[in-house]
Every structure is written in structure tokens, then in C-alpha cells.
């Protein structure tokens, strides 16, 4: 077990723990990307270049992008729902382009 | 030290499971599932590793007579990565759709089966 | 089941699983040992089929049927995501907003790296039998590279470069080609996915029989499939909105409630 392998394994374990411990899904996309990078380094150290390339493309680029897009869609809908509820409470105020909508979206 | 790699894989799997159990947001649960799947990649590749062996791609540097690591587990891990990515995509699409219908993605609020 | 009970059940179950793992790991062959029976058999078969990339040989030649299953899973999941993310009756499509300000350095890097990335992806697909890589890896690189256009430019630019119908057809064509090569194996040699093309020279571009053809088919399918998948997620985020919302903003490229940051300025890894 070389030092490089031990370090790579420890980094992967820490990155995995960080992803699970992050509560906000917006931030999880970034730490998931970091886990993908750590896994890529580990796979190269384990003499698996094809697997490392695949993990880099999928786990570092595509899956975090999909997670971010899903979270933005969900948060945007929640913000619209909240705004609609607030408007219903306010006895039909005049509707303009930006009627006090809260920016509940992607806070990073 | 001989089993450290295996224990890292087991740690990732159990940490992912813990994340799924304790999550308050379906997207968080899906990402924790990804961590759990990463544990399986590490276990597969650790099983196939040989100290001092090279990557299983023969060419000018790796002559066919040299020792290489196991290509079968690497092929299995490649399939594993593809399937994980597609399952994650489908689960995220499900989460978006559930949010459209029920207005929430908190698993604790989604207990009833609605039409 | 309340959260506390769920946690307790997990701790008990997880503890038992961890104990079983520990027992199993100490009885497994040591990490980094020399006894790998499947490795010896697989490498012998790889060299007999004149393939330089042993992982590609296992994936497409020795266990091609498993890769066919994996590509079918990919196809089915892209179809499933497309069905789940299509606009429902109470949703309409907005015209996308004007793109936000993109930094000049991002634009330069994005536009400069776009053809480079596409070429690298194509190279990885075509050389799958001699270098690490292959159809799946190259397909993912191509799909991600195409979205550099979205990072450096704007969503309408990406939309123009990416006719979704063509990519849908490309994905199915790739999957069908895989099955077609398998059937050709039946016709020529009597077994599905038999390696029927001439083996070529070890280490050259033309080698390993059907492996480069299958690499190309998988590269086409994965590249198109990932682009379609990302397209549906992007559409959900950028274009689709509730009909009331579309009416409120007059159907023009107006403000949308929710996040204020522009998609073009979003940080992406690619």
C-alpha cells in the first residue's frame, strides 16, 4: 500500500462524508463534483485509466449539472408557490412585472 | 493496512445509507445514493488490484508479458458507473415531477399515495 | 415510522452490516495480492483477439451481451426522463431570457475549447481498442463539450446547434447498430455478438474485429443520449413555466420569479 494509494483512499472517504454531511442540495452538487475528482485520482492510482476517464465525465460534470438543474427547478417552483400564496393573502394587489417575489432560488 | 481499501468502500456505502435515512430533501437522498454507489466502485477496483502491476492496456510501455491488474472488474465498474448515472438522472426527474404534483420534496411529507 | 425510529433501525442494521463486512474483509485475499484467476483468463483471450485495450475487449468482445444490456438501460432511462420532464397541461413554454453577461475570458476559453473537446472525444471513441477509453467515455466527453456552447454563449445558441430530433434519432441508431452487429454475428458465425470482422494487427487502428464498430455505436448512443437528457433538464429550468406565470409576464422574455442569477453565468465544470 503506497503512500499515494493511502492518501487517495483517505481523500475519497473524507469527500464522501462531506457530501453526505452537506445539508443543502445546492452545495451538494459542488461537493459531489469534488468527490468525483477524488475518485478519479484514486482510480488512476489503482491503474484503471478507462474507469477514471468515465468517472470524470459522468460523476464530475454531468451528474452535478443535473443535480443543480433539478434543484433550481424545484426551488423556482417553491418560490412561485410562496409568491402566489402571499398574493392571495394580500387582497388582490396590482400585479406588475416584479410583484415582490422572493429570490428563494439557488443560494450558493 | 491490507484491508484499508475495503474498509473505505464499506464506509462509503454505510455513509451513503445514513445520508438517505436522515435526509429531508429527495435530491439530498439521491446524491447520498450516488455516494453509496461510489463505494461499490472502490470495492470492485480494490479487489482487482495487484501491487506493482500496470494498467491493462497493452502497448509500447506495457508489453503483453508484464503483469496487469484485473480488467474484468474494471469492465464491471464501467457498467456500474453508466447504470448509476442513468438511475440518478431518472430519480432526479422523478423528484422534479413529484414536486410539481405534491408541492414538496420532503420525504416525511410524502407519506400518502395520491392519485 | 418517525425519524427517530428510522435512525434507530438504520443504526442496528448498519451495525450488523458493518460487522459482516469486517468478517468478510479479513477472510478475503489480501489487497494487492497476486492471485487473480479472471485476470489470467481475460488477458489470454484479449491477446488472442489482438486487442490492446483489455478492458474494451472484456466489455465489447468477451462480455458484449452485458454491454448490450447496459446500453438498453441507458436508452430506457433517457426515454423515462424525457417522459417525466415533458411539459404538462398546465405548463407553457416561455421564450428564454436574454443571456446574462458572460465574462470575455469564459467566452474565449469556451469557444476555443469547443472544437478541441469534440475532437478529443471523437479520438477517444475511435481509439477505444488501442488506448484507454472507448465508446462510453468518448460519448460523455462529446456531450459535455457541446454544452461549452451554453457556458460560453447562451441557451438559444445551444438550442440552434442541437436539433433534438436529430439527437433522438442518433441515440436510437446507436443502440440499433449494436444489436445489428450482434445479429451479424449470428449470420456469420452462429452466435450472437461473435467477433466476425478480421482481427487486424495488434496495436493498430484496425484491430480487434468488431470492437471498434461497437465502440462507434456506443459512442453515438451515449453522446446523443446525454445531450437529450441534459436538454430536458435545461428546458425544465429555463423554458417551461406555469401558464399563469407565462401570462403574467406577457409571454415575453421577462423576469422570472425565483433565482435572479442568469444561467449563462452559472459555474459549470466541463
Q: What is the pLDDT of residues A24-38, one digit of tens each?
A: 888 999 999 999 999
ipTM of the complex: 0.90
- Compare CB distances from C32 to B49, B72, B100 and report the shortest one's residue: B49
Cα–Cα distance between B84 and C73 in angstroms, integer? Answer: 10
Cα–Cα distance between C55 and C74 in angstroms, integer? Answer: 20
Contact of C52 with chain B, judged by CB distance below 8 Å, is answered with yes
The DSSP call for residue C86 is: S
Provide the sign of the torsion angle of the four alpha carbons B48, B54, B55, B56, taken in this order: negative
Q: C21 and B6 in contact by Cβ < 8 A? A: yes
Specify the pLDDT at position C250: 54
Task: Name every residue whose Cβ is closer than 8 Å to that of residue A17 and which is 6 or more positions away in sequence.
Answer: B11, B15
Provide the sign of the torsion angle of the four alpha carbons C7, C8, C11, C12, taken in this order: negative
In percent, the amount of chain B with pLDDT more than 70 equals 97
The mean pLDDT value for B49-61 works out to 87
Q: C140 and A57 in contact by Cβ < 8 A? A: yes
Task: Name every residue whose Cβ is closer than 8 Å to that of residue C196 and which is 6 or more positions away in sequence.
Answer: C184, C185, C188, C189, C209, C210
The model's pTM: 0.86
Burial of B95 (0-12, 13-18, 19+ CB in 10 A): buried
Q: Which band of pLDDT confidence, cut at 50, 70 and 90, is reported for residue C47?
A: confident
End-to-end alpha carbon distance in chain C:
41
pLDDT (tens digit per residue) in A79-95: 888 888 888 888 665 55
| More confident of the two residues A43 and C103 | A43
Q: What is the DSSP string of B94-114?
A: HHHHHHHHHS---GGG--S--
Residue at grid coordinates 406555469:
C242
Q: A70 and C233 in contact by Cβ < 8 A? A: yes
End-to-end alpha carbon distance in chain A:
38
Specify the pLDDT at position C244: 56
pLDDT (tens digit per residue) in C143-156: 999 988 888 888 88
The mean pLDDT value for B62-83 works out to 90
- Taking 50 as the threshold, does the pLDDT of residue B16 lie above it? yes
Cβ C175 vs Cβ C132: under 8 Å: no
pLDDT (tens digit per residue) in C49-98: 888 899 998 999 888 899 999 999 999 999 999 999 887 776 666 766 66
- Compare CB distances from B108 to C3, C57, C67 and report the shortest one's residue: C3
φ, ψ for residue C51 (rounded to 5)? -110, 135
pLDDT (tens digit per residue) in A46-79: 999 999 999 999 999 999 999 999 999 898 888 8
pLDDT (tens digit per residue) in C148-206: 888 888 888 888 888 889 999 999 999 999 999 888 888 887 777 777 777 777 777 77
Amino acid at each position: 500500500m503506497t503512500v499515494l494509494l493511502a492518501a487517495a483512499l483517505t481523500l475519497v472517504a473524507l469527500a464522501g462524508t462531506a457530501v453526505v454531511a452537506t445539508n443543502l442540495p445546492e452545495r451538494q452538487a459542488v461537493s459531489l463534483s469534488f468527490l468525483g475528482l477524488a475518485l478519479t485520482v484514486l482510480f488512476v492510482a489503482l491503474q484503471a485509466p478507462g474507469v477514471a476517464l468515465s468517472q470524470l465525465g459522468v460523476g464530475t460534470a454531468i451528474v452535478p449539472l443535473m443535480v443543480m438543474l433539478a434543484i433550481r427547478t424545484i426551488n423556482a417552483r417553491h418560490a412561485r408557490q410562496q409568491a402566489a400564496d402571499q398574493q392571495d393573502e394580500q387582497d388582490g394587489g396590482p400585479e406588475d412585472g416584479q410583484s415582490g417575489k422572493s429570490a428563494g432560488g439557488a443560494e450558493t | 493496512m491490507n484491508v484499508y481499501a475495503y474498509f473505505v468502500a464499506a464506509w462509503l456505502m454505510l455513509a451513503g445509507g445514513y445520508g438517505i435515512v436522515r435526509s429531508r430533501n429527495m435530491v439530498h437522498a439521491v446524491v447520498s445514493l450516488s455516494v453509496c454507489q461510489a463505494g461499490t466502485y472502490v470495492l470492485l477496483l480494490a479487489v482487482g488490484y495487484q501491487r506493482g502491476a500496470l494498467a491493462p492496456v497493452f502497448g509500447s510501455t506495457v508489453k503483453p508479458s508484464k503483469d496487469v491488474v484485473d480488467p474484468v472488474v474494471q469492465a464491471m465498474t464501467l457498467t456500474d458507473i453508466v447504470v448509476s448515472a442513468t438511475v440518478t438522472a431518472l430519480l432526479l426527474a422523478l423528484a422534479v415531477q413529484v414536486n410539481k404534483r405534491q408541492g414538496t420534496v420532503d420525504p416525511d411529507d410524502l407519506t400518502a399515495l395520491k392519485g | 415510522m418517525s425519524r427517530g425510529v428510522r435512525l434507530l433501525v438504520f443504526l442496528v442494521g448498519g451495525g450488523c452490516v458493518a460487522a459482516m463486512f469486517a468478517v468478510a474483509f479479513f477472510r478475503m485475499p489480501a489487497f494487492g495480492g497476486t492471485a487473480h484467476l479472471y485476470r489470467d483468463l481475460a488477458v489470454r483471450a484479449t491477446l488472442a483477439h489482438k486487442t490492446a485495450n483489455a478492458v474494451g475487449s472484456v466489455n465489447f468482445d468477451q462480455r458484449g451481451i452485458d454491454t448490450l444490456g447496459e446500453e438498453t438501460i441507458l436508452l430506457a432511462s433517457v426515454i423515462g426522463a424525457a417522459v417525466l420532464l415533458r411539459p404538462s397541461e398546465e405548463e407553457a413554454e416561455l421564450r428564454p431570457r436574454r443571456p446574462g453577461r458572460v465574462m470575455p475570458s469564459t467566452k474565449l476559453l469556451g469557444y476555443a475549447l469547443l472544437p478541441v473537446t469534440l475532437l478529443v472525444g471523437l479520438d477517444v471513441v475511435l481509439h477505444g481498442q488501442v488506448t484507454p477509453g472507448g465508446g462510453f467515455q468518448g460519448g460523455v466527453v462529446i456531450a459535455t463539450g457541446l454544452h461549452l456552447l451554453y457556458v460560453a454563449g447562451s441557451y438559444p445558441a445551444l438550442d440552434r446547434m442541437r436539433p433534438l430530433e436529430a439527437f433522438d434519432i442518433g441515440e436510437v441508431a446507436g443502440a440499433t447498430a449494436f444489436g445489428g452487429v450482434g445479429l451479424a454475428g449470428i449470420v456469420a458465425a452462429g452466435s450472437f455478438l461473435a467477433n466476425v470482422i478480421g482481427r487486424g494487427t495488434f496495436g493498430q487502428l484496425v484491430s480487434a474485429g468488431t470492437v471498434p464498430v461497437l465502440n462507434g455505436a456506443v459512442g453515438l448512443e451515449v453522446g446523443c443520449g446525454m445531450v437529450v437528457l441534459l436538454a430536458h433538464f435545461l428546458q425544465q429550468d429555463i423554458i417551461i413555466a406555469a401558464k399563469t406565470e407565462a401570462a403574467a409576464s406577457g409571454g415575453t422574455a421577462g423576469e422570472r420569479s425565483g433565482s435572479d442569477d442568469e444561467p449563462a453565468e452559472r459555474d459549470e465544470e466541463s
